[in-house]
Amino acid sequence: YPDYGVSVAQAVISKNVFRGIVICGTGIGMSIVVNRFSGIRGALCSDLYTAKLCREHNDSNILIMGGRVIGHGLAKEIVKVWLSTPFEGGRHQKRIDKITHLEKLKKI
């Protein structure tokens, strides 16, 4: 699965796609892979509330799910919520700017 995570992360970074979705058994492995890339804000979601807030507050650009953790029906609902929820910006943009600054320092 790491190869697929790398491909999706690179597609998002290069702006070939607007956002990406990756799935593995628990979602943890994919989380580790995609979040290695600067500019990626991958969010592991297993409920609708997290899917909504990771977009609104963190401008998540990769949705990560665990196929062995959630069922097919819930996964579809999470995807719908995640894709339809816009980033709020405002006070949340400050957080994104800080993360981007840290990535540029390469201290993390």
Structure confidence by residue, pLDDT tens digits, 62-73: 999 999 999 999
Residue pLDDT, tens place only, 8-21: 999 999 999 999 99
Q: How many CA atoms are closer than 13 Å to the CA of 10, on its beta-carbon side?
A: 6
Domain residue extents for the chain: 2-105
What DSSP letter does each residue of the chain carry, written as one string? -HHHHHHHHHHHHTTSSS-EEEEESSSHHHHHHHTTSTT--EEE-SSHHHHHHHHHTT---EEEEETTTS-HHHHHHHHHHHHHPPP--THHHHHHHHHHHHHHHT--
Q: Who has greater pLDDT, 107 or 72?
A: 72
Task: Please indicate, yes or no, whether the overall pTM of this predicted structure exceeds 0.85.
Answer: yes
How high is the pLDDT of residue 108?
Answer: 46
Give the residue numbers marked as catalytic.
Answer: 24, 57
Q: Which CATH architecture has domain 2-105?
A: 3-Layer(aba) Sandwich (3.40)
